[in-house]
Structure 1
Amino acid sequence: MGSYICKCPRNHWRPPPSKLFKINFDGVVFSHDKKTGIGVVIRDYKGLVIVSCSKLVHQELCSADIEAIAAGWALSFALDVGVKRAILEGDSLTVIEGLMEEERLLVPPGLLIEDANQLSQCIDELLYSHTKRDRNTLAHSLARYALGILDFLVWMENVPPQFQDILQADLLGLSE
């Protein structure tokens, strides 16, 4: 396991190297509703969506905890759809650094990160990447979308129609 450094001159999502998938994840807290949401999108080296999902968690968690849970959920989801070589990318530096640590974590979401680390052992090749929120917009939007669903929704080779503009902007960013 290792890290992946993307030298991105613009604020767009960047694809993984060929033969790898990129798993973007995010978690969102809905304090008013006492719930949280998870968004995951898995794309190939061309930027094409393999699968995406939104999941509602029926409890309010702190930001660090839902990000750690989202990382574990993203890995579990990737394994369920057969992804074995990937880059896991999120906008929580604490979670990404925690996943890259080999020793027991003392940060608050440490046990949740350890759960995600256990799942990472089932993936043949897994790299980690921290990104800024503006490069993780699609996963963030999917996490926010979770508030409007009952539990869990999956889109094969697509995203919800209202997020097509975000996907297209990411793909246009590839040609710049």
Structure 2
Amino acid sequence: MILKTALHLVEEYSAANEFRQGDKQGMGPAKIWKPPDPERYKVNVDGATFESQKKAGIGVVIRDEKGEVVVALSKLVNAPLGAVEIEAKAMEAGVVFARDVGIREAEFEGDSLIVCIALQGGEGAPSSIQNVLEGTMELVSGFRSFAFSHVKRQGNVPAHLLAQYAKETENYVVWLEECPNFLEHTCAHDISVVSHSYP
């Protein structure tokens, strides 16, 4: 528990420093959700820990260039994973899910700075997630094109809500070509913000 808490604090500290440096340079992580390039898909992922249940949740939402939800996943993980570990598993699940629904050109996005930097070729990821990261890179090599990007938490709300929803499931739930009711407002908000920011 002490190790998991320490890793979580290190991630928050790193994220805070990255935000400050980025703000100074005008190059911080995205604050809002942005649609993918035409003919590509944006795969947003998030993980959540349910400490009292000794379980965790994963949320994945895949949207097209118009911001429409193509498919979404809420998955329960029957293991007491820490914050960094479940974020790494969420990114892996996002890659697997995108592959399984037939997507081959995607941008994978999450709000864990440590995971995103590691998948972009950076260093500093804890040893507890190295195998998951390596497996993710092996999986994504089968895509025609892919990228990993970091977004602030407020730009990743639908994936976060799906991760939290996993607490209500026995295993997993998939929404194909429909937006879950509890995501409609946040997805519409994302599209609205983008249209005002990038006319």
TM-score (norm 2): 0.80
1:109-130 per-position Cα deviation (integer Å, ceiling 9, x unaligned): 1111111111111111001110
Q: Which residue of 2 aligns with 1:21?
A: 41
Matched, 1:144 2:164: yes
Answer 1 or 2: which has greater strand percent: 1
Matched, 1:119 2:139: yes
- CA-based RMSD of the aligned residues comes to 2.1
| 1:12 to partner: Cα distance | 2.9
Q: Which residue of 2 aligns with 1:58?
A: 78
1:124-150 per-position Cα deviation (integer Å, ceiling 9, x unaligned): 100111000100000000000000011
Opposite residue 76 of structure 1, the aligned amino acid is V
| 1:59 to partner: Cα distance | 1.1
Q: Which runs of 4+ in 1 moved over 6 A?
A: 7-10
| 1:8 to partner: Cα distance | 9.2
Q: Which residue of 1 aligns with 2:121?
A: 101
Q: Percent identity?
A: 38
Q: Secondary structure at the match of 2:128?
A: coil
Alpha carbons of structure 1 residues 79 and 9: separation in structure 2 relative to 1, 3 Å: closer
Alpha carbons of structure 1 residues 8 and 14: separation in structure 2 relative to 1, 3 Å: farther
Q: Which residue of 2 aligns with 1:46?
A: 66
Query: Which of 103, 114, 118 matches 1:83?
Result: 103
| 1:106 to partner: Cα distance | 5.6
What is the rounded CA distance, in whole Å, between the counterparts of 1:93 and 1:8 in structure 2? Answer: 11
Per mean C-alpha deviation after superposition, the further-off stretch among 142-151 and 109-118 is 109-118
What is the rounded CA distance, in whole Å, between the counterparts of 2:29 and 2:148 in structure 1? Answer: 19
Opposite residue 23 of structure 1, the aligned amino acid is V
1:42-90 per-position Cα deviation (integer Å, ceiling 9, x unaligned): 0111111110010000111011111111111100000011110010000
Higher CA-based Rg: 2
| 1:102 to partner: Cα distance | 7.8
What is the rounded CA distance, in whole Å, between the counterparts of 2:153 and 2:129 in structure 1? Answer: 20
Structure 1 spans left out of the alignment, 5+ residues: 1-6
TM-score (norm 1): 0.90
Opposite residue 109 of structure 2, the aligned amino acid is E
Check the 8 A contact 1:98/1:110 in 2, yes or no: no
What is the rounded CA distance, in whole Å, between the counterparts of 1:135 and 1:33 in structure 2? Answer: 27
| 1:19 to partner: Cα distance | 1.7
Q: Which residue of 2 aligns with 1:3?
A: none
Q: Which residue of 2 aligns with 1:4?
A: none
What is the rounded CA distance, in whole Å, between the counterparts of 2:29 and 2:55 in structure 1? Answer: 35
Per mean C-alpha deviation after superposition, the further-off stretch among 81-90 and 108-117 is 108-117
Check the 8 A contact 1:8/1:14 in 2, yes or no: no
